[in-house]
A and B are shown apart, each in its own frame.
Chain A
Amino acid sequence: MPPMETTAAPVKIAGMRVETAGARELPAQREVLFDVKDLRVTYAGVPALDGVSLEIYRNYITAFIGPSGCGKSTFIRCFNRLNDMIPSASVEGSVLYHGEDLYGKDVDPVEVRKLIGMVFQKPNPFPKSIYDNIAFGPRVLGMKDGLDERVEQALHQAALWDEVKDRLKESALSLSGGQQQRLCIARCLAVEPEVILMDEPASALDPISTTRIEDLMHELKRNYTIVIVTHNMQQAARVADKTAFFSVDVAPDGNRRTGILVEYDDTSKIFTTPADKRTEDYVTGRFG
């Protein structure tokens, strides 16, 4: 049949696609913040983690998942040299931060921990007032100007200000668990870090507090880079842009268990079409 003749202007369909802006906004340009190469961590000579290489991107949320003993907590502690605190621990390979060796001779670990803060599994506020908890870090680091404003800003950023603004002099221990964890995040933010490391930040919290922490992470990633260790796979799926799956390699004699990086990819890929069978088995709950 010959094509129908028409005098009407053609209806355009192409080009009508509407761009959807979601919570998963990422920076236009991906910038490598940490470049980890062939990392090996041993405790008293026994490897806890071996052969790990990956890049962490600026303003991304990166999640580490994996079964117990896979070395994910060991790994996250390498990003702000917390393993230095353990006398028997030794770190080989390299962790570059902005291209500089984080473990270089001239690098001051205290300066590292100011730029790269850490929030732990259990909220650990100091037994001091809410205000002093936040002001502690800036005071120690000599950031004494405008302390009140700094405290207020940190509490705002941690979405805690409205709940505590009338009770700043009260003990931090009077806060609920979820509030205490946000206080710890505020304490971390008060010294103007660039990176926030979170080791199971919500595992001791109830579901509502967990949701608040996750919402907060989405807010914070505009200005910070976040790395999170989580046992909760759905949490990784909800919050992370990139996900790394770690597993345990058991030596043939069964005596040695070493953490290894199995797969590192976009979170959407890890949870829909993981490339490695071990990742698939773990995320689908067939192994763990």
Chain B
Amino acid sequence: MSEPRPPARVSFQEELDQLEAALREEGELVLRSLRAAVEAVCSQDVELAEEVIAFDDDIDSQYFEVEQGIELLLARQTPVASDLRLVLALLKDNLHLERMGDLCTTIAKLTKLTKGLPPDDTLLEGFKEMGERAEQMIRVALRSLQQRDRVAAESLLELDELIDRANRRVVNRLLEIGHDLEVREWGLRMILVSRCLERIGDHAVDIGEQTAYLVTGEFREFTDASH
């Protein structure tokens, strides 16, 4: 029975929308970095790896921009209820995205370290698969946040299981080829690459948990097993 009211707190809503858009942009930067990092490691492209490392500065500055926006908004607008939950979720998601960027940088550094060492094609296939899965997870995480879709956010847990399985296959393959001195050093470094991709998936799950918190108001981990 309420009569139509003029919109309230217009500039506050705009600030919130801008913050969310800035976070999505950061997500796009991470996706670019991830694609390039996987491409670099699979094609042993050191030049591309260096680009990935340099590109992390772009992700970091986007991270700082979001961080400062949140700080200012908290200080000036004292958000409560769903606004507060959104700001808290953005604060944490921002950190998760920045971490993903760091993991891409680590992959790029490992690519540089293994320059000239003979790779194993089966493993490279595994990384491609993990990279695609991680990319998909980031997309689902960002979309579920944007659409406030708890069900989609929770589906990240199943996607994470797939990337975890791929990680285990990589480790098993490394155990198989570990006797081969030619590929041993490369293989040891590559365990870390696999781990980085698997961790990117974990961060995507964490973003999904924040979305569920935003929607329901109750925080719970999707799984009590440590990732």
Residues of A within 8 A of B (CB): 233-234, 237, 249-252, 254, 271-274, 279-280, 283-288
Contacts and interface: CB of A to CB of B under 8 A. Distances in A.
A285 B5 CA distance: 12
Interface in B74-114: 78-85
B3 A233 contact: no
Given A250-B2, A272-B84, 12 more contacts: A233-B80, A234-B78, A249-B1, A251-B1, A272-B80, A273-B81, A274-B81, A284-B79, A284-B83, A285-B8, A286-B9, A288-B8
A237 B1 contact: no
B84 A250 contact: no
Contact of B217 (A252, A273, A285): A273
Nearest to A273: B217
B12 interface: yes
A93 B12 CA distance: 42
Interface of B: 1-3, 5, 8-9, 12, 78-85, 217-218
A254 to B, nearest CB: 8
Contacts of A233: 80
A271 B8 contact: no
Contacts of B1: 249-252
Highest count of chain B CB atoms <10 Å: which of A234, A252, A254, A271:
A271
Contacts of A287: 2, 5, 8
Nearest to B77: A285
Nearest to B7: A286
A287 B8 CA distance: 7
23 contacts: A233-B80, A234-B78, A237-B80, A250-B1, A250-B2, A250-B3, A251-B1, A254-B3, A271-B81, A271-B84, A272-B81, A272-B84, A272-B85, A273-B81, A283-B80, A283-B81, A284-B9, A284-B81, A284-B82, A285-B9, A286-B8, A287-B5, A288-B8
A21 B148 CA distance: 36
Given A285-B8, A287-B8, A271 B2 contact: no
A234 B79 CA distance: 10
A271 B85 CA distance: 10
A271 B80 contact: yes
Contacts of A251: 1
Contacts of B85: 272-273
Contacts of B84: 271-272
Nearest to A248: B2
A279 B81 CA distance: 9
A254 B80 CA distance: 31
A250 B1 CA distance: 6
Contact of A284 (B2, B5, B80, B218): B80
Contacts of A271: 80-81, 84
B15 to A, nearest CB: 13
Contacts of A283: 80-81
A249 B84 CA distance: 27
B139 to A, nearest CB: 28
Nearest to A274: B81
A272 B83 contact: no
Nearest to A275: B217
Nearest to B9: A285
A127 B21 CA distance: 59
Contacts of B5: 287
A237 B84 CA distance: 13
Nearest to A253: B1
Contacts of A252: 1
Contacts of A237: 80
Nearest to A271: B80
A283 B80 CA distance: 7
Contacts of B12: 285
Nearest to A269: B217
Contacts of B83: 284
Nearest to A270: B81
A284 B82 CA distance: 8
A233 B9 CA distance: 15
B81 A280 contact: yes
Nearest to B217: A273
Nearest to B5: A287
Highest count of chain A CB atoms <10 Å: which of B3, B8, B81, B83:
B81
